Each structure stands twice: as structure tokens, then as C-alpha cells.
Amino acid sequence: MNTSVAVSHHHGPASGISRWLFTTNHKDIGTLYLWFSFLMFLTGGCMALLIRAELFQPGLQLIQPDFFNQMTTMHGLIMVFGAVMPAFVGLANWMIPLMVGAPDMALPRMNNWSFWILPFAFAMMISTLFMDGGAPNFGWTFYAPLSTTYAPPSVTFFIFAVHMMGISSIMGAINIIATILNLRAPGMTMMKLPLFVWTWLITAFLLIAVMPVLAGVVTMMLMDIHFGTSFFDAAGGGDPVLFQHVFWFFGHPEVYIMILPAFGIVSEIIPTFARKKLFGYASMVYATASIAVLSFVVWAHHMFTVGLPLAGELFFMFATMLIAVPTGVKVFNWVATMFRGSMTFETPMLFALAFVVLFTIGGFSGLMLAIAPVDFQYHDTYFVVAHFHYVLVPGAVFAIMAGAYYWLPKWCGNYYNETMGKVHFWCNFIGVNITFFPMHFIGLAGMPRRIPDYALQFADFNAIATVGAFIFGFSQLIFLYNVISCIRNSKPASDRVWEGSHGLEWTVASPAPYHSFSEPPQVK
């Protein structure tokens, strides 16, 4: 994005393609991550639109059930590992050094490698669509034995792709931790860190803790498929439920990996546009840490119907309900930050406000899902689909959008088009709600998830959801256009960019020079 930049007298970016292939610059790598994640967002989005188009009416119209399952699987995997996670890593790469006053990430060469693994991992995973037997078709949660004994041959490529994504994430996480712990400017104490940095520090520890677990579970699958073990096969003394325990021990912290940095972004944006300091900074840090710790002891709430013993069921119900407390604290803090502020509603703020409301709605349905006896009715229905899309789309994705608009002027040196930004926001806001709110209804009324065709009583809400999905999907092109025109030519941005901006990233020039903080800044 910083194409015309090289203000410093140090060496600037290399020219041509080698700049991007061999770069060790955190800003370049952040840009690569962000563009890559946007590309994956559009790819996974096209798959979602294909799914929604098939579900527009009852009956099979466009695609056959096996391909439908491939689409739901690939959509989930691409959105989780290809869109949301790399987008947060991209933001971390760009912003963390600027926020802590560091000249670059602590491990720049590893940084390059962390990114460049990803395009290969996803190329391999997407290539399975063209293989004999098709792409993985067992859902993004790939429960055994559907993903082992009964899987298409392409499952092996899927396993290696997941390994590569895991390696990339772990290296990215190590880099972020090393940067935050070692490269802070003098005077930047831990309790002065911007919340985005704090949430990412905690997220990085989660990543290091659970990505090896994911690698473990896919390796066990690989062994079962090719080397005659029976980890997940009861006939050989194994246990299919073991798969779910291991998977969700990774999977639940993973959902917080996708939301904690979003909390951080929103905690940066709301104070800026409310022109008031964040309420309860310390409690925000403690709440984030307690959510992270709790995320390790709630995994079996994804498995309430597998036949857990009563005591297990109760433990996981109580632990899960407990998460509502720190999450509530966060929401209250955001609202208290707005209270008696002096608010304006630029695009980043609109996305952040929508985040607070819609993420909270996702939190409410989460609380309902935590109640084990009732979960027997909700489990594996569209109610769950509605829940996790509310926390992931107007949750994680809106926060990423908010962050992108918020820092875009700092990255490019130009303001984006505010009107177009607002149009994009309202299309997103309306589209998301039309898509996902009716899913609560059809889920409660009894529609299971992951089905290509449904009974007639679900027809109306499905048709509505499809319309919403197309509004949401195509409105991303407005964003794309806005970003490109912001990079090319637009109103130059001031260094502070926003009236209420706060933090070190706003002390450097706009656009941020290729090398920043060669001399560490003093933080008072």
C-alpha cells in the first residue's frame, strides 16, 4: 500500500516483485497479509454465496449434496484460517511496532517466512477441489471417522495444508510476543500498552498453546488413514469422541484467537471517536486474560450431545457460563467509554458501534447455548450457525473493517472516501442482519445445519437469508474500490489523522515512513 514512500535516508524498499518476495519490513509484510486475507475473504465469500444460492429454495437446484458439503467445509476453513486470522496478523504486523515504538518486528526474517508459507498452504488446500473425489467434505470441524475412514483421498493434502497454516501461525505468534516483550520504547510499561497490543499478546500465547494441538490431531488422522493406527476407530480400540476432545481443545481457544484482537481494535477506536479515555483500562486487560484462561476449560460445550457423564456436562456448563462475566465487563466498559463522551461517527466508529451491539447479540445466544439441557435442542441447528456468524462476521470481520478504515490513512497517507465508507458500512450492517438474524428462527424451529435441502416450513427465512448474503457479499466491492482509490489518489491525511487519536502510531508521518522509530521515542 505504501507505494510512493521512502522518506528516510536509509535504504528504501527494493524494486519490483523482489520487494514483496524477500521483504523483512513489517509494513510490507503486514500489507501482504492484509491483501492475502482479503483475497481469501472474497474466495470464501463466493463459496458462501454458492451455499446460500442453493438454499434459496427447497429442492436441489444448483449443486449436488457432495459438492455442497465441500463448499461448507472449504468456506469454513478459508474464512477461519485464510481470512480472519491472517487479517489480524496483518494488522499486528503493521501496528504493533508502531504502537510500542519499535523499529520493526523482533524476528524479521521469520516474519517473511510466516507469511510466504500461507499462499502455498492455501493453494494446496484449494487445489483439492480439482482432485479425484473432490475436496474435503466433512465440515471445517472434520469429525472422525467421517474425515478418516470415510474421507475422500484429498484429505491428505488437507492435513498437510493445516500443518503449514499451523507453522505459519506459531511463528507469527512467537514474533509478536518477542516484539512486545523486548522492543517496547523506553517508558512504555506493560500497563501503558495500547489494548490492541495487549489483546494480541494474549492471543499469541493462545496460538502457541493450541496450534500444536491442532497439528497433533491432524497427525493422528494421518496415522489412522495411512499407517494403520486406530486413534479414532473403535474397532481398533480407539475412540471417535477422542477426536472431538482434542479438536475442541484447540477449537475453543481458536474462537477467542479470532475475537480477542477484535476487542483490542474496538478498544482503540471507541475512545478516539468518543474523545474520551477508555473506561476501565486495567479491567479490560484482566478481562481479556481471564477469557483466555477460561477458554481452555470449556471445550466440551461443543459436545454436550456426545454422551458426556452428568458431572462433565455440569462442569462444562458452569465454566462456559462464567465466560459471560469478563465478556460483560468488556461491553460495559465500551458503553461507559461512550457515555458522556463527545462522539462523531466516521466509518471506523460505525463499524465499532455495530460490533458492540451485534457481538453482544452473539454473546447472548452464546449464553443460551451454554445452558446444557437447552443445548440439546440448539445443538447442530441453524441457531448455532446464527450464533457463531454473529460473533465472527459482525464480530471479528467488522472489527477488521473498522481497523482497516481507522489506520488506512496512516498506511496510505490519504483519507479514504468517507461517503463511500458509510455506504459500505450500511450495506454490511443491513446485509449481515438480513442474512444471519433469520437463522436464529429456522434453527429454533428445527433446521439442522450443513444440509443442502430442507423441509418446506424453513423456506421463507432461507430465501430472506440468501438475499441478505448477496447484499453483504457484493458490498465488499465498494470497500475494495475505496481502498484502491485511497492508495492511488485522495485527500492527503494529516499525521494525527483523527481529532481524538492517541498513541505512538499517530506521532509518525502519514503515510508511515518505510522505516520508523529508528530512534526509540520516549513515552512519558
355-414: which residues touch other proteins (CB under 8 A)? 356-357, 360-361, 364, 367-368, 371-374, 376-377, 379-381
Separation of alpha carbons 521 and 186, rounded Å? 7
Give the binding-site size for other proteins (rule: CB under 8 A): 98
Nearer residue to other proteins within complex by CB, 18 or 457 = 457
Q: Is 37 a catalytic residue?
A: no
Contact, 208 vs 174, CB < 8 A?
yes
Site for other proteins in 67-86 (CB under 8 A): 69
Contact, 481 vs 77, CB < 8 A?
no
Q: Is 245 a catalytic residue?
A: no
Q: Is 290 a catalytic residue?
A: no
Residue 312 CB, nearest distance to other proteins (Å)? Answer: 11
Among 76, 82, 152, 511, binds other proteins (CB under 8 A): 152
Residue 138 CB, nearest distance to other proteins (Å)? Answer: 7
Nearer residue to other proteins within complex by CB, 175 or 360 = 360
Contact, 176 vs 193, CB < 8 A?
no
Q: Is 424 a catalytic residue?
A: no
Separation of alpha carbons 142 and 128, rounded Å? 15
Site for other proteins in 114-143 (CB under 8 A): 131-134, 137-139, 143
CA 347 to chain centroid, in Å, comes to 20
239 contacts other proteins (rule: CB under 8 A): yes
Cell digits for 301?
460445550
Instruction: Give residues with Cβ within 8 angstroms of 257, minimum separation 6.
Output: 85, 203, 206, 207, 210
Separation of alpha carbons 356 and 342, rounded Å? 18
Instruction: Give residues with Cβ within 8 angstroms of 18, minimum separation 6.
Output: none
Residue 242 CB, nearest distance to other proteins (Å)? Answer: 11
Among 192, 450, 496, 502, binds other proteins (CB under 8 A): 450
Q: Provide φ and ψ at 103, rounded to 5°.
A: -70, -30
Instruction: Give residues with Cβ within 8 angstroms of 80, minimum separation 6.
Output: 140, 254, 258
> Segment near other proteins (CB under 8 A), from 88-96, 191-199, 214-222, 308-316?
308-316
Q: Is 75 a catalytic residue?
A: yes
223 contacts other proteins (rule: CB under 8 A): no
Set 256, 382, 390, 407: catalytic member: 256
Q: Provide φ and ψ at 381, rounded to 5°.
A: -110, 180
Site for other proteins in 312-351 (CB under 8 A): 313-314, 317-318, 321-322, 324-325, 328-329, 331-332, 335-345
Q: Provide φ and ψ at 70, rounded to 5°.
A: -65, -40
Catalytic residues: 75, 104, 140, 168-169, 252, 254, 256, 267, 301-302, 327, 330, 449
